[in-house]
Amino acid sequence: MTVPLDSMYQQIILDHYKHPHHHDLPAEFDAEVHHVNPTCGDEVTLRVNLASGRIADLGWNGQGCSISQASTSVMSELVVGETIERALELSEVFLELMQSRGAMTLTDEQADELDDAVAFEGVSKYPARVKCALLGWMAMKSAVAEASATSDVGGS
């Protein structure tokens, strides 16, 4: 199924699909997750390393449609080096956008912080594809939660 998107946005998605960022699993990691989107056949394996409350490193690989793979690439570019808090904030804004069915108008600030992720705005009109766009973000969230739960950051 092809989703008709704005051509500039389509180009951003295609670029990330062809040249995914952080598309390499770090050998050492605090947590690894594997998420699938069975309705489309998308898969993502993602590893994170946390340090001092930040996402020090994140790498992934996967297979599936261009929306799922490109969205994971965009997500990784946005969150690597950011604080965990910030990464989760971004994922909330993106989740809200994806669940808006095309009805959400981003503030300039939100558009700035989502950067290339705004390219997926049009996907929100296609409920069947929303899970594709969210796959990598959900994987990041659960990997961070898992790493936070098992790491000794914060002292114990």
Among 40, 95, 104, 153, the residue binding Zn ion under the rule CB under 5 A is 40
Which stretches does DSSP call E strand in 20-103? 31-37, 42-51, 54-63
Binding part of the chain for Zn ion, among 11-19, 49-57, 125-133, 142-150 by CB under 5 A, reads 125-133
Taking the C-alpha atoms of residue 103 and residue 101, their distance in angstroms, rounded to an integer, is 6
Which residue, 16 or 54, is less far from Zn ion as judged by CB? 16
Q: Per CB under 5 A, does 73 bind Zn ion?
A: no
Figure out which of the listed residues 49, 68, 71, 73 binds Zn ion, where binding follows CB under 5 A.
Answer: 68
Give the whole-angstrom CA distance, residue 156 versus residue 120.
Answer: 41
- Nearest distance from residue 136's CB to Zn ion, in Å? 11
Q: Are 116 and 77 in contact (CB under 8 A)?
A: yes
Binding piece for Zn ion, criterion CB under 5 A, among 11-19, 66-74, 90-98, 101-109: 66-74
- Contact status, residue 35 vs residue 66, Cβ threshold 8 Å: no
Identified binder of Zn ion from the candidate list 50, 65, 74, 87, rule CB under 5 A: 65
- Assess 49 for contact with Zn ion (CB under 5 A): no
Q: 40 or 104: whose CB is closer to Zn ion?
A: 40
Q: How far is the CB of 128 from Zn ion (least distance, A)?
A: 9
42 contacts Zn ion (rule: CB under 5 A): yes
**62-72 as b/e, with b when 16 or more CB fall inside 10 Å?**
bebbbbbbbbb
Distance in angstroms (rounded) separating the CA atoms of residues 4 and 85: 34
